[in-house]
Amino acid sequence: MGKSYRGVGLAVVIAAAGLVWSAQAQQPASMPSFGGAGQLITYLIPSTDAKPTALTIVEPATKRIVVYHIDKTSGEITLKSARNISGDLGLDYWNSGSPLPSEIMQGIERKQ
């Protein structure tokens, strides 16, 4: 039953974002909306050109993130990405070129 309420809550957030996207597009970027424990964090990135507005929603309790694009002309909302980030948060580094964090630490240790 709790999952259905979350689904309804997510739908409400997405619908509200779709309704206000044009007003938000006049501002450079919106600040994240931080909720209390068990609530969603939303971040709306309006676009000033033909690109779609991006809406990111994070659910801290389950460490999930979803990204939507909102088309400026039609208002259509498209899910672009969804993932559980708990594994990501356990990584020391990823996709980083030289010097790697471990190489930097070795260099610091050599100087001491």
Give the pLDDT confidence of 60-112 residue by residue, as tens digits.
Answer: 999 999 999 999 889 999 999 999 999 988 887 787 788 887 888 888 888 87
Start-to-end CA distance of the chain, whole Å, equals 57
Residue 61 makes CB contacts below 8 A (sequence gap 6+) with 37, 38
Task: Please give the residue range of the domain that contains residue 36.
Answer: 2-111
Give yes or no for a contact between 53 and 70, defined as CB atoms under 8 angstroms apart.
yes
Is this model's pTM higher than 0.75 or not?
Answer: no
State how far the Cα of 100 lies from the Cα of 27, in Å rounded to an integer. 37
Per-residue pLDDT at 33? 56
Instruction: Name the token pair of 30.
Output: 């919106």
Per-residue pLDDT at 24? 44
* Per-residue DSSP letter, 67: E
Overall number of domains in the chain:
1
* Per-residue DSSP letter, 91: -
